[in-house]
Amino acid sequence: MTNARQPYHPDDIVVWPDGGWATLGEVQAGEYGWRSDDYEVVRLEDIERLKVLGLAEDLDLP
């Protein structure tokens, strides 16, 4: 049994310190190349963290 986490998914959420956000897939595609690389990647299933970040409503999460 391994404790290694699964790789991030393109639908996971990238959150910058200023509150801006995008999907990881968008960032990987270069659509946010003008933004800093100082961001947090939050797994889409981490609903509690997304709520803390104030993104639940934007992402239509319960």
Entry pTM: 0.86
- 23-49 CB burial, b ≥16 within 10 A, e <16: bbeebeeeebeeeeeebeebbbeeeee
47: phi then psi, degrees, rounded to nearest 5: -60, -40
Backbone dihedral region of 60: left (phi > 0), alpha (psi from -120 to 50 degrees) or beta? left
Q: Per residue in 4-62, pLDDT tens?
A: 577 999 999 999 999 999 999 999 999 999 999 999 999 999 999 999 999 989 999 88
Mark out the alpha helices in 1-62 (DSSP H runs). Answer: 24-28, 47-52
